[in-house]
């Protein structure tokens, strides 16, 4: 397996726990987390549904607007899944982290700002294209943030910075929407378009602090064959995982339930807008509640896994996710939507953290490095997101609404529960080191 902590040739040396560098990484989380919360979850999907026509003709097919936004997310994560092994190889061996972080930050933030020009159905492809590119920029930058050699050192601080920054900007955007007339915006729609700009500027501006604090890139050219390195590592991990039926079953269960989780997180606000006709300001409040409850949920899931084990904790959360889907199908009032949002917040952060920590317990005990295994896991995460949003959009297209899509996701959770019954949390056999 690869050695993630081996510096690239020509890389400058620096103190691993340098507070200035750790804060630089955490500020990067502050900068880009605003996009993940404000744009992808809270504001853009319902805005898109409000501007786009109910059906869009593409190559002779009438595609529903909720299907189009779901498939836009699918496209973005399909691109990310395809290129992430390349980016991981560059991150681990190329010594050009800052250069590529800067590229994806500029790409994502400018694409986010371009959403300002999505002001009518005639500009539909500006809106959808900008959203896809911004999502690729966000996820591309994360690849260079979350490498294993610094994951533990900065993850806690990064979470705090990212949560605080995104919530602060979301509250500012909520004020812009609620008080648009007093703040000089001609309409709520205009305030939302300027909110897109604020997120892009926030992302691009605060990232400059990170770029000034992070160590410089290696000066030597990247090694030959570097672009294949990430794929080689993913293939190594796949072969090792395939040899362990127990680990394979866990990852199959993870694929199923993560597909459902990601589809719900991306499209919950779209559901509330399309099916419940909730006001944009109430949708933002819903997302704020969801984020605040997520802190409690992460704590409770951690305590549950400590007392009862990871597998039991996953069972409990998957039962809650299944109930969310079943209840979501029949929700009819705004108060019910807020209760459902609270339930999502309770299990959304916990299941993602617990899934990763549980997977780590399957890895070979004597392997010195886990980079390849986590690269494979991250690809699984992204491909399952593609699958979940693709299924969500397809069911909405075939059955004429998002309620059917939510109900269909319950099947994924039930299937993952059935698979998890056969899983035992134990390590894979050791694999040869290369």
Query: What integer best gives the mean pLDDT of the chain?
Result: 86
For residue 111, the surrounding DSSP H or E stretch is helix 97-114
pLDDT in tens, 72-123: 999 999 999 998 888 877 766 666 778 888 999 999 999 999 999 999 999 9
Per residue in 269-278, pLDDT (tens digit) is: 999 998 998 9
Element (H, E) at 55: strand 55-58
Q: Could you say which residues of the chain have pLDDT below 70?
A: 1-18, 91-95, 145-158, 219-226, 367-369, 430-434
CATH class, range 234-434? mainly alpha
Are 132 and 42 within 8 A, CB to CB?
no
**What is the rounded distance in angstroms from the CA atom of residue 317 to the CA atom of residue 261?**
11
CATH of domain 17-214: 1.20.1250.20
Q: Report the half-sphere exposure of 123 (CA within 13 A, side-chain side).
A: 15
Radius of gyration of the chain (CA): 21
3-state secondary structure of 62: strand
Give the residue ranges of DSSP H helices in 215-333: 226-242, 245-276, 280-308, 310-330
Residue spans per domain, the chain = 17-214, 234-434
* pLDDT (0 to 100) of residue 414: 97
pLDDT (tens digit per residue) in 131-160:
999 999 998 888 776 544 444 445 556 677
Q: SS3 sequence, 121-169?
A: HHHHHHHHHHHHHHHHHHHHHHHHHCCHHHHHHHHHHHHHHHHHHHHHH
Decide whether 17-214 matches 234-434 in CATH topology.
yes
pLDDT tens across 36-75, in order? 988 998 899 999 999 999 999 998 899 999 999 999 999 9
Tokens of 62: 């009438």
């Amino acid at each position: 397996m690869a050695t993630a902590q081996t510096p690239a040739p020509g890389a400058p040396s620096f103190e691993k726990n340098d507070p200035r560098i750790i804060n630089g990484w955490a500020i990067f989380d502050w900068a880009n987390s605003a996009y993940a919360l404000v744009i992808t979850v809270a504001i853009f999907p319902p805005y898109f549904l409000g501007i786009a026509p109910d059906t869009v003709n593409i190559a002779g097919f009438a595609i529903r607007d909720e299907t189009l936004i779901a498939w836009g997310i699918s496209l973005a994560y399909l691109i990310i899944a395809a290129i992430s092994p390349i980016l991981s190889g560059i991150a681990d061996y190329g010594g050009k982290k800052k250069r590529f972080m800067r590229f994806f930050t500029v790409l994502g933030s400018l694409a986010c700002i371009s959403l300002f020009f999505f002001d009518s159905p005639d500009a539909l492809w500006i809106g959808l294209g900008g959203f896809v590119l911004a999502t690729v920029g966000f996820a591309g930058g994360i690849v260079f943030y979350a490498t294993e050699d610094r994951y533990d050192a900065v993850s806690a601080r990064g979470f705090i910075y990212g949560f605080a920054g995104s919530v602060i900007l979301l509250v500012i955007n909520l004020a812009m929407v609620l008080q648009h007339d007093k703040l000089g915006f001609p309409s709520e729609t205009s305030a939302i378009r300027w909110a897109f700009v604020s997120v892009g500027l926030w992302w691009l501006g605060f990232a400059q602090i990170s770029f000034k604090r992070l160590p410089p890139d290696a000066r030597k050219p990247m090694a030959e064959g570097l672009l294949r390195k990430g794929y080689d590592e993913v293939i190594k991990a796949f072969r090792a995982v395939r040899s362990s039926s127990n680990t394979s079953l866990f990852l199959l269960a993870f694929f199923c339930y993560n597909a459902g989780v990601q589809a719900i997180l991306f499209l919950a606000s779209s559901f509330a807008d399309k099916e419940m006709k909730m006001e944009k300001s109430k949708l933002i409040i819903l997302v704020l509640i969801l984020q605040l409850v997520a802190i409690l949920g992460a704590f409770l899931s951690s305590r549950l896994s400590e007392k009862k084990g990871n597998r039991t904790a996953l069972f409990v959360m998957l039962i809650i996710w299944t109930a969310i889907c079943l209840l979501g199908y029949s929700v009819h009032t705004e108060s019910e939507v807020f209760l459902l949002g609270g339930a999502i917040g309770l299990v959304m952060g916990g299941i993602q953290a617990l899934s990763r920590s549980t997977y780590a317990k399957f890895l070979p005990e004597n392997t010195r490095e886990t980079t390849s295994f986590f690269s494979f896991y991250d690809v699984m995460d992204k491909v399952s997101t593609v699958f979940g949003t693709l299924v969500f959009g397809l069911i909405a297209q075939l059955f004429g609404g998002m309620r059917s899509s939510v109900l269909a996701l319950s099947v994924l959770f039930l299937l993952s529960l059935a698979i998890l019954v056969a899983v035992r949390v134990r390590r894979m056999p050791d694999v040869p080191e290369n």
